[in-house]
Structures are given as C-alpha cells and as structure tokens.
C-alpha cells in the first residue's frame, strides 16, 4: 500500500536546489524525495570508519610469494628476501 506525504513551507531557494539535485540524478523532485525517504528508512549509510573496520577484519590475501619472486627475477629485479 502506498501512502501520500505532503510537505509545506519549503523555502523557494531550498526547493530549487532540491529540484536541481533531482535533475542531476535523473529524477523529478517527487521521485527524488521518494528515493531519499526510502534510503533513510533502510538505515544509516556506512561511514568511512565502518568501511575501514570491515576491511581490517578481512582475511589476508592468499599470495604465492614464490610467483612474485619469479616475476621480479624475470624482470631483472631481485627480491629483498633472505
């Protein structure tokens, strides 16, 4: 079931900025308002800190060190490993 929401008293300057943002996102003002309400109702967006924490919790990549050393040797570079 869809509902209707009317917002009154929006300053003219704010309204025109809002419609400009909507146009840049290829939406009309009504569709952009629906999109914003839906996005906020789904929960807060992840912050940079959330993303860094999630990245830090990832397992280390599975790296074949010998393959890297062979590549460096084939390019005339020597590994710093002992």
**Predicted confidence band at 69 (pLDDT cuts at 50, 70, 90)?**
confident
- Whether 81 is covered by a domain: the verdict is no
Domain residues for the domain of 41 are 12-74
Residue 44 lies in a domain: yes
3-state secondary structure of 24: helix
Does the pLDDT value for residue 82 go beyond 60? no
Q: Please state, in angstroms and rounded to a whole number, the distance separating the CA atoms of residues 59 and 44.
A: 26
Indicate whether this model's pTM tops 0.75: no
> Is 5 a domain residue?
no
> Which pLDDT tens digit goes with each residue over 9-68?
999 999 999 999 999 989 999 999 998 888 888 776 677 887 788 788 877 777 788 888
- As for how many domains the chain has, the answer is 1
Is the residue at 47 inside a domain? yes
pLDDT, residue 45, reads 65
Q: Please tell me the distance from the alpha carbon of residue 31 to that of residue 26, in angstroms, as a whole number.
A: 9
């Amino acid at each position: 079931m869809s509902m209707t929401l009317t917002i009154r008293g929006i300053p003219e300057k704010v309204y025109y900025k809002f419609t400009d943002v909507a146009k840049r996102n290829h939406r009309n003002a009504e569709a952009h308002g629906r999109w914003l309400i839906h996005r906020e109702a789904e929960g807060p967006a992840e912050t940079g800190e959330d993303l860094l924490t999630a990245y830090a919790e990832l397992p280390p990549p599975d790296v074949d060190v010998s393959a890297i050393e062979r590549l460096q040797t084939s390019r005339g570079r020597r590994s710093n490993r002992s």
